[in-house]
Structure 1
Amino acid sequence: MNIEMNKKQIMKFIALRVADELVAGTLNNLGVGIPTMVSQFVAPEKNIWLHGENGVISIGKAAFEVIERTNAQATDKTDDDDLVDSEGNSKSLTPGTCFFDTSTSFGIIRGGHLHTTVLGTMEVAENGDIANYMVPGKLLAGMGGGMDLCVGAKRVIIAATHTNKGKPKLLKHCNLPLTAVGAANMVVTEMGVFDIKDGHFVVREYNSNYTLEEIQNNTEAQLVIPKDVKTMDARYFEEAMKES
C-alpha cells in the first residue's frame, strides 16, 4: 500500500494515533495545531480531562472543520464563542467543566498535576530537546505556556509532521532556540511512533505506506529499529482518509 495523504489527512492521522496514547481518567493539555485536534478523537468512555492554560478543565471536543474556518463562520450552535481553546476556536461545555484564574492554571502545570501534554514542534532532538516557538527573523506566536508544560507534565508527546518542506524535524541536535531540554518522551508523525530512550529515537510503530529506509532517509538522527517493530494499525489510515 502506497497512498499519499494530503495535509488535512496527515494532521488527522497523527491526531487519531495520539488520542490513543492518552490514559483514561487523567488530566492532559493539548497545544496549538495538530494537538488541538486530538480532543476530537478521544473516546468518551476514557473519561479524559483536558486542561486549558486560559483557566478551564474539561473543554468539549473541536469539530475537525474548524481548522478550515473562522469562528465567525462556525455554524455549530452548541459551541460557546466565549469559551475557546489554545487556537481561539469556540468550544462547548461538558458536564463537570470548571473555570479558574491564570495563576491557578499555571499552578496546576508547574505543580506536576498534568499527566500528559501534547505539543507541536519545529524541531525535536534525539535526546528529547524541543524547539517549538521561534524561528529567527520570523514573527511567530511565541512560547506561550510551552516552557511550563514541557517541565510540568509527567509525559510530553510531540505531534507533528515528519518533515517541513522536505527538511527533517527529528534531528541529532536542535538548531533553533530551545523550548525545553530533554523533555520529549515520544514523537508521533505521519511516518510512525518514536519513543525517545537513552538518547535515541526508537521506532515503536511505523506507517506501512513508508519503508523503514524511507523513514530513515527523512530523519536526520539515526533511528533505532527493534527486530519486533510493528506497523501502525490500519484503522488510523482508514479513518484519516474518510471525508471529515
Structure 2
Amino acid sequence: MSKKPSKPTSSAPRKFLDALYGGTPLKVDGAILDSLRLHDGLAGDDHGPLFARLPERHRQMLALSDGLDLLAGSYRLFGWDNDAARSMRWWNDVETWKFAWGDHPPGYLCFGESVLGNQFAYREDELSKGGAAKVYELYAVTLEPICHYHNFDHFLDGGFLNGVRNDAYHGRIAQARHQLGGFELDKHLAYAVSPLLTGGAVDVQQLMIMSASSHMIVNGDLWRQIAHRDSLTGLKGIEDYVDSKGRSRLRVQWS
C-alpha cells in the first residue's frame, strides 16, 4: 500500500532543499516552501535505463522524496515508483492516456503537472545519462510547448518552487484551491467546455474535477478531431461513448 505524503512542516521542506543542494538551497517564499509535501525517498539505485537518463538533480530529488507537491496539490512532481505521488512510469505508459493523442506529441516524458493538466516534460531525445535536458511546459489542451527551461535546476527554481505567477492561469488555480481546500493528486481541474470549442478562451467556462487520466484522454480525443480544422463550421455536437477497453471517450459529430 502506498504511503500518504507527509504533512508540510516548517523544517522538513527546508531540510529537503538543504540535502538536495548541499547546504546552499534555493531562495523560496516561506509560504510556498511550507506548503511543500514530501514522500519517502526512492530506495535503491538500479531503476532501469530510462531512470538512469534523468538529469542527476532529478534523480537526487527522487532519492530524497519520491514525488512532491506544492500548495495543496496545485502543482505536482511525480514519483518514480510511488503511486501516492503518481508513478512516472505508469503515467507515461501509452495505455494510460497517450493513446488518445495518436502520434502527438512525439517523445515527451512527462514528470509533473499543474492541477489544470499542463504537463512538465523532457523530450526523450534530449535526455542523456547524467546530462542536462530542457524542461517543457505543455498546454493540457493541445500538448504544445508554451515555455521551456534550460534544465531541471532552472525549472525547479523558476518553474516550480518560484513559478507561481500573479496571472489569470495561476489565479484560477488559487481561486479553486481556496474554494475546495486542495486537490487530490490523481485529479485534475478540467475546463467544462474545452478551449478548442471556445476559440481558445479559458475565462468563459467553469472548472470541474476529473480524474487526471480521463481528462487527458478527452483532451486528446478533441485535439485529434478538431485541431487540424480551420473552423468549427458544421459542428453538430459532442458524443460520449465507452471504448472497447471500458474508457470514457468523446466523438465529435459533424454535419
Q: Which TM bucket (shorter chain)? A: under 0.3
Higher helix share: 2
- Structure having the higher Rg: 2
The structure, 1 or 2, with the larger RCO (C-alpha pairs under 8 Å, 6+ apart) is 1
Q: TM-score, normalised by structure 1?
A: 0.26
Q: TM-score, normalised by structure 2?
A: 0.25
